[in-house]
Amino acid sequence: MDSIHPTFIVGVGGSAGALNAYKALLGALPSNTGMAFVIVSHIHPTAHSYLSQILSRQTKMPVMLASNAMPISANHVYLTPADSDLTVEGNAFKVVSPRTSRGNQIDIFFVSLAAAIGARAIGIIFSGYQGDGTEGCKQIKAKGGITFAQDESAEIDSMPRRAEAEGCIDFVLPPEKIADELQRLALLRK
């Protein structure tokens, strides 16, 4: 398998209450799925985040901040830098800082992911307020990708429920079961 180009790029969006979901997902995944994982989390622009250190304890995959023009590699976990919008161009990240608006970082990333890689895009919506991620999941589905929303295990269910209500979600599962489904998809691509 080509270590540079992942079979799928998995966008994982979350906000309030999503930390436990991120940890559960990464803790249930093997480190060799052939996928790349990009976590887009709502974090205050001036906050210092320990997300990288926290998530590094849940997985053997390298966990790092995405940077401009960084190639997206399989079996890696990437995080959005503070006060930035993250998009995909080709097989690399584009970082725009400061971010253009608040509360839609997940949609911005998911829409660009759908446009860049189509059916190889996967979107996951975890716990959070409002509806960020719904438009992005619509775009991923429209391009043939796969979408997930966290089930009632979400601490704050606004984001996953809104996406589900819009009819743009393929699977509604707890994080550990999403990991199982991702592993099944990875095996189908081998």
Domain extents in the chain: 13-189
Position 46 scores a pLDDT of 66
Q: Which is it for strands 92-96 and 85-89: parallel, antiparallel or unpaired? A: antiparallel
- CATH number 3.40.50.180 given to 13-189: yes
pLDDT for 2 equals 41
Look at residue 1 in the predicted model and tell me its pLDDT: 37
pLDDT for position 47: 67
- Report the alpha-carbon distance of residue 183 to residue 123 in Å, rounded: 15
Please name the residues in contact with 181: beta carbons below 8 A apart, sequence gap of 6 or more: 148, 171, 173
Residue type, 38: V
pLDDT given for residue 82 in this prediction: 85
Q: Is the CB of residue 37 less than 8 Å from the CB of residue 12?
A: yes
For the chain (190 residues), the mean pLDDT of every run of 10, in chain order, is 77 96 97 96 76 95 96 97 92 91 91 97 96 97 98 97 97 98 88
